[in-house]
Structure 1
């Protein structure tokens, strides 16, 4: 399988720039291996990978919560080590874990988060954020009184309180209800339209397929592919044409060997699989060949690979190598 290697952008196009990033924990476990990554201003970038692949470690290093063993990171032009405060002020982070001030009210904890970054009070902004996240009627409630889904909303509100240019969402949909998910993605689109750069990790790959402009896949600490979503699906996707036959077949005739055909159970269907980039002219030729053989069909169905199909093939392809 041919993969697309991460590619560099002009510095003016990149709001997050990662170079040669590696992270090795005590005991010798290497969580990140020489990661290079550029994230474009104003895009939604989805970082996908199985559990333990290094997604959260990469986010933690970029956000300055963990130190890299080697390599550099800049956020909005600021080195995350040498100019930590300015870099961190450009970043909002919604972590996986639900931890916040249990005995504070929603209003107080979100307002306090804004103050931590040296921002002046802005009640109108806090009100808008809480309303956008359907938290306004809970503004005077203490955090401990909230459900898990509401606590997740509070974490998002805190991350947005200081008006970051870059927003990290680490598994934001984990354990939340459908209503919050819809509210959250509507807000994410609004933020992107307003110029905020969004980086998200998710196990709901259909969300990445729906939301993201670009996709990155990390496996065992290595970034194995970074590509525009549409290009990735076009390059690595597969199409299938399934023909339900009028009469069952015992085997595929040798005259049809030029097409990669699979015979279904009990010989009742033929499936033709081909690359998304391949010209569809092969279908017309196949249908003519079937007619010439006297093979009739009563139904046909076409399908394409989803992003989930491509993701699964990437993370399980042990021979994958960047090109």
Structure 2
């Protein structure tokens, strides 16, 4: 595998893109807001889009780029673990609901932070956050080939019920399609705002209906999902160009099987609560950086356990 490392001018390119996107977004919003009252979709100037553009710039810039040979993996391994909160997390007040569906929706809990009686933390996302070749056999285990273009339906669908999204974070491959369900009897619109290179969709879903969504591209970080009909509803999604990701369920556990072995990998930990995984000690030899990233090398056929304990103060 050959990868190009950028010269200092890439940092300047990144800064200029953020400034340009902010200016372009402001101009677009001003122009579009005056045309028939249509709602303008802003151009967002976030770091994720800048990182994606920088990556594309690196690929296109033959001059000044230095090719470096990276080692190839040898076999596969498994990484698994559990996220536990040490201490008591304060109970959040229910969300404020408004509008004609208030009676139907009832009391909507604030489930951003879900911890059970044993401290197990739900809705933690762990994903491989480095670019790898899309080749089966070497970097991607052949067991993942069957689901590369799968339609995620049934228990794997993205659903909304009692005026809240049933998942706080939804992870999928960029090549897959997910069924967006409305299990309520009232209408919703599911506004998925994909970043640069990822499709956006905003379907109106009457009660009991569904729609299909295909990202068509990978994102470097989760992006937001909202419902304009019920503004208290919120969730997040990430689409990846590989299968190496997991989201913790009620027990706080995760497992990612058949991860490339004998090569250094970069993973990212994410939770909707900001900075939860900033500079966290995972094990005696693993620590995250300020963005929740950590590097790990797994031996062939190894099963690496990551029992992660987080202080309750990070959530209170």
Taking structure 1 as the reference length, what is the TM-score of the superposition?
0.26
Structure with greater Cα Rg: 1
| Bigger helix share | 1
TM-score (norm 2): 0.27
